[in-house]
Amino acid sequence: MQKLAFIGFGVVGQGLAEILLKKKKELKANFGYEFSVVAVSDFNKGSALKQDGLDLSTLLELAGDNKISEYPGAEAGLNALETIRKSNADVVVEVSYTNIETGEPAHSHFKAALEAGKHLVTTNKGPTALFLRDLVALAAKNGVQLRYEGTVVAGTPVLNLNDLCLAGNEVTEIRGILNGTTNFILTNMEKGRSYENVLKEAQELGYAEAKPDADVEGWDALAKVMILAKSVMRADISVEDVDRTGITGIKLEDIEAAKKEGKRYKLIGKVTREGGGVRASVRPEKVDLTDPLASVGGATNALTFVTDLLGEVTIVGPGAGRVETGFSLLADLLTIHRTQ
Ligand code: HSE
């Protein structure tokens, strides 16, 4: 029985909770996977700790009204760090607010979980992008797993694809559409709509980050490029090493001109092996229409691995969304279940 503590219970955390609730029987029947949620702590929605398990339907209902602390018979009032340390969870699901400048407060949650000997699954890009190497070492030191599939392209399995299916290849380049909001904007601008109008729609549809600059100035894609560089290429890079340009300088005329050349603008995140290191960038590029990335429209993401044994392998799939990102956490939980 896997005991889970949720740190953060917003869209993604609730997405996982809904999947766990819906698929409880199948998960047990197909994988022998059983779980118990023993704690939840959310900065806005409250906290509840009950070592013998909380009922997920009740939790989801209370979360809707920001009243998790009113869970009957549970200990309330614990902050994230107290919850991690006090709960008997063996896996911490860290899905709190992401900060790609400092990684906090999630970075402290990560360290507390690993130091307490608890596995950590997360979709939180900030601390993963900034501190992955140290965190991997901390997990190894404490004999636990750190899994972060959902930090890049949500539940679309790019990290597992690299770690499991492409193992044995040398990956010489990774390039892709790593941000749904900007791809949605560029796709719709191609249809003649204005930048402002489409950005507003992306916000309404829930793709955009809390501060849309994170999307349109390329910061969100930069975090994912850093995670790919560190995870796939084992490179030691920092924010300043990534050559970053967002899409705010792209005008309708540029898009029209590219179209006449048989090309299409995409915000491309790229990591290329170079000498002993890597070159990394996020910038709008004119992609040839024959490139598989050119046909990926709307909020969909895609990533091409350039490998020595297989040539180019492209995976296309959702890069955001409640269930789609919630699923990445389920995939990580099942991996821990299978490999423990
Ligand atoms: N704002 C991000 C996107 C969400 O548009 O892709 C997923 O990181």
User: Would you say residue 307 has pLDDT above 80?
Assistant: yes
The residues lining ligand 1, judged by C-beta closer than 6 Å to any ligand atom, are: 179-181, 207-209, 215, 220, 319-320
* Three-state secondary-structure class, residue 238: coil
Residue 94 Cα to ligand 1 midpoint, Å, equals 17
Please list, in sequence order, all residues whose beta carbon lies within 8 angstroms of the beta carbon of residue 256, skipping any fewer than 6 positions away.
none
Lowest mean pLDDT among 30-34, 140-144, 189-193, 310-314: 189-193
Q: What is residue 208's predicted lDDT score, i.e. its pLDDT?
A: 81
Residue 211, both tokens = 């501060």
Report the percentage of the chain scoring pLDDT > 70: 100
Residue, of 208 and 62, whose pLDDT is higher = 62
- Sheet strands (E) in the chain: 2-7, 35-42, 46-54, 91-94, 119-122, 146-147, 171-177, 242-244, 263-274, 277-288, 300-307, 311-318
Span 123-152, mean pLDDT? 97
User: Would you say residue 56 has pLDDT above 80?
Assistant: yes
Cis peptide, bond prior to residue 72, ω within 30 of zero: no
- Sheet strands (E) in 171-276: 171-177, 242-244, 263-274
Contacts 24+ apart (CB under 8 A), 309-315: 309/168, 309/169, 309/170, 310/166, 310/169, 313/161, 313/166, 315/153, 315/156, 315/157, 315/158, 315/161
Please state, in angstroms and rounded to a whole number, the distance separating the CA atoms of residues 278 and 205. Answer: 35
φ, ψ for residue 70 (rounded to 5)? -90, 10
Question: What global pTM score does this model have?
Answer: 0.95
Angle (CA) 239 95 203, round 5°? 75
pLDDT band of 316, cuts 50, 70, 90: very high
CB 291 within 8 A of CB 263: no
* CA-nearest residue, atom 4 of ligand 1: 320
Q: What is residue 206's predicted lDDT score, i.e. its pLDDT?
A: 78
User: Would you say residue 202 has pLDDT above 90?
Assistant: no
Please state, in angstroms and rounded to a whole number, the distance separating the CA atoms of residues 164 and 169. Answer: 11
Residue 287, both tokens = 């992609």
Number of H helices, E strands in the chain: 13, 12
Q: Choose the catalytic residue: 224, 263, 266, 270.
A: 224
* Three-state secondary-structure class, residue 91: strand
Tens-digit pLDDT profile for residues 257-301: 999 999 999 999 999 999 889 999 999 999 999 999 999 999 999
Tens-digit pLDDT profile for residues 69-83: 999 999 999 999 999
Residue 113 Cα to ligand 1 midpoint, Å, equals 26
CB 183 within 8 A of CB 299: yes
Span 41-69, mean pLDDT? 96
Pocket test for ligand 1, best of 220, 301, 325 (most atoms within 8 A of CB): 220
The domains of the chain, with CATH numbers, are 2-155+322-338 (3.40.50.720), 160-318 (3.30.360.10)
φ, ψ for residue 178 (rounded to 5)? -110, 0
Pocket test for ligand 1, best of 181, 186, 329 (most atoms within 8 A of CB): 181
User: Would you say residue 209 has pLDDT above 80?
Assistant: no
Q: What is residue 276's predicted lDDT score, i.e. its pLDDT?
A: 85
* Three-state secondary-structure class, residue 253: helix
Q: What is residue 28's predicted lDDT score, i.e. its pLDDT?
A: 97
Tell me, yes or no, if 224 is annotated catalytic: yes
Please state, in angstroms and rounded to a whole number, the distance separating the CA atoms of residues 302 and 325. Answer: 15
Amino acid at site 198: V
CA distances from 26 to 19, 29, 31, 277, 330 (A): 11, 5, 8, 44, 13
Nearest atom within ligand 1 for CA of residue 179: 6
